[in-house]
């Protein structure tokens, strides 16, 4: 698929979001045939699979977002099928046993639109181009988690403060940061709520100062509050909104560096170093291998890695342990394909650790070299 503008690919929905089918908490995502190059189960021949097949038998199928039914019928490839359009996304539900909506009907997230047959085939197109359904479903799942963490059942609409646009220091990188938020904002909100991540004290102090000044100037509730503008801010408070937005983005980026070792890919080394130094000053980054014990017999340090999935099977993480520590390093979200490669031993352990925990592995190699020099007198 050609590279698209990330903002164009965001899906808005007044009715919220819903996965195409529901699973019990203990159920795993039952994928029987993945996307892309696959082997035909009947013939064993390689072929290009345009979607994903799920072992979903006789289950209700739901509208994913606000949309419209743009197609339905019967054909050799999809058997009975129904096609729903959500924004620029077209989602085909194939091999269904029954359709509950008719062509041209408007649909809302969570409405039953069909029932699966012996299995379910899902294919997705964005703006007319084929897309891996997992990328789309992961985005939908992230939206659901993000809104749930915020206590919002409907997606907030973007709103300017009157005719004032909110500007930040990060406008040049907004597409990149937006995609990072789309993937990691639910984890960020959850880690804040559970205490696995704590914002720097200067962040909370700055927010208090901003809100104190705003209250003294009567910035709040100058207009009717709504989901997109809960404080009722007006044109006059645009500078306040700028400062708050800058702080929120800065804290999110600090979280990404400290918990996931991820920077915006559009940044140069100087920008990355500046953020890393600030995170270190804030106490967010601590050397996890400090004072580690080295086995001088083998000049090595115990290290392990594993992967795990959420209950839906859509999201995956990796976690590592160095130096025999029980707690281990912070989990990093990865793709399902990367998790499968690790499980199948297609990636060497040290290569995996170097990819996702580069700072720890750098410290590991440095410590080993220093131990050799001290013991052997090199």
Identify the weakest region by mean pLDDT among 125-134, 277-286, 345-354. Answer: 277-286
pLDDT band at 120; cut points 50, 70, 90: very high
198 and 271 in a single domain? The answer is yes
Q: Which residue has the higher pLDDT, 289 or 59?
A: 59
Q: Answer yes or no: do 141 and 197 share one domain.
A: no
d(CA 247, CA 188): 15
User: Residue 288 falls within a domain, yes or no?
Assistant: no
Q: What is the chain's mean pLDDT, rounded?
A: 78
Give the ranges where the chain is alpha helix by DSSP (H): 6-9, 133-149, 174-194, 201-216, 238-260, 269-281, 336-343, 349-356, 358-376
Q: Do residues 264 and 181 both lie within one domain? A: yes
Residues 217 and 119 grouped into a single domain:
no
- Of residues 158 and 331, the one with the higher pLDDT is 331
Closest CA to 114 of 77, 155, 78, 76: 78
In-domain check, residue 158 = no
pLDDT of residue 154: 46
Tell me: do 68 and 132 sit in the same domain: yes
45 lies in some domain: yes
Q: Calculate mean pLDDT across residues 172-184.
A: 78
Shared domain for 32 and 145, answered yes or no, is: yes
Predicted confidence (pLDDT) per residue in 230-245, tens digit? 555 666 666 777 777 7
79 Cβ partners below 8 Å, 6+ apart? 94, 95, 96, 117
Q: How many domains does the chain have?
A: 3
Domain of 83, in residue numbers: 6-149
- How do residues 53-95 score in pLDDT, each as one tens digit? 998 888 899 999 899 999 999 988 889 999 999 988 999 999 9
Residue 34 host element (H or E): none
- Residues 10, 139 within the same domain: yes
pLDDT for residue 226: 47
Q: Could you give the percent of the chain with pLDDT greater than 70?
A: 76
Q: Is residue 121 part of a domain?
A: yes
pLDDT for 376 equals: 53
- The model's confidence at residue 100, banded by pLDDT at 50, 70 and 90, is very high
Residue 267: predicted pLDDT = 87
Within-domain flag for 292: no
Beta strand pairing call for 316-322 and 303-309: antiparallel
Judge whether residue 295 has pLDDT over 60: no
Are 142 and 32 part of one and the same domain? Answer: yes
Instruction: Check residue 106 and give its pLDDT.
Output: 93
Predicted confidence at residue 240, as pLDDT, reads: 72
How confident is the model over 318-351, as pLDDT tens digits? Answer: 988 887 777 778 888 888 888 888 888 888 888 8
Contact, 130 vs 50, CB < 8 A? yes
The answer to whether residues 275 and 316 belong to one domain is: no
Tell me the HSE value of 369 on the side-chain side, using a 13 A CA sphere. 6
In a domain, 43, yes or no: yes
Residue 4: pLDDT over 60: no
Average pLDDT over residues 180-198: 78
């Amino acid at each position: 698929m050609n590279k698209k503008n990330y903002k164009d690919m965001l899906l808005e929905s007044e009715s919220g979001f819903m996965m195409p089918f529901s699973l019990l908490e203990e159920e795993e995502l039952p994928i029987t045939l993945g996307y892309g190059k696959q082997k035909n189960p009947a013939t064993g021949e390689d072929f290009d699979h345009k979607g994903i097949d799920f072992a979903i038998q006789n289950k209700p199928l739901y509208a994913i977002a606000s949309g419209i039914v743009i197609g339905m019928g019967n054909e050799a490839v999809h058997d009975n099928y129904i096609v729903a359009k959500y924004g620029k996304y077209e989602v085909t539900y194939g091999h269904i046993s029954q359709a509950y909506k008719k062509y041209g009907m408007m649909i809302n997230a969570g409405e039953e639109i069909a029932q699966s047959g012996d299995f379910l085939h899902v294919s997705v197109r964005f703006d007319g181009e084929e897309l891996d359904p997992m990328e789309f479903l992961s985005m939908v799942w992230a939206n659901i988690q993000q809104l749930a963490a915020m206590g919002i059942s409907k997606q907030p609409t973007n709103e300017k403060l009157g005719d004032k646009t909110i500007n930040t220091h990060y406008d040049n990188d907004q597409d990149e940061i937006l995609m990072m938020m789309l993937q990691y904002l639910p984890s960020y909100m959850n880690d804040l709520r559970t205490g696995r991540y704590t914002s720097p004290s200067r962040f909370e102090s700055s927010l208090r100062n901003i809100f104190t000044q705003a209250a003294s100037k009567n910035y709040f509730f100058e207009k009717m509050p709504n989901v997109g503008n809960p404080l009722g801010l007006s044109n006059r408070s645009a500078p306040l909104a700028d400062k708050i937005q800058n702080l929120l983005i800065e804290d999110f980026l600090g979280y990404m560096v400290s918990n996931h070792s991820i920077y915006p890919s559009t940044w140069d080394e100087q920008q990355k170093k500046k953020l890393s130094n600030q995170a270190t000053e804030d106490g967010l980054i601590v050397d996890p291998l400090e004072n580690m014990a080295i086995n001088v017999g083998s000049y090595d340090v115990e290290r392990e890695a594993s992967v795990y999935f959420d209950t839906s099977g859509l999201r995956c993480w990796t976690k590592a342990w160095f130096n025999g520590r029980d707690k281990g390093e912070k989990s990093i979200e990865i793709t399902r394909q990367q998790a499968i490669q690790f499980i199948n031993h297609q990636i060497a352990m040290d290569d995996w650790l170097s990819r996702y925990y580069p700072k720890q592995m750098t410290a590991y190699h440095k410590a080993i070299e220093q131990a050799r020099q001290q013991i052997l007198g090199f």
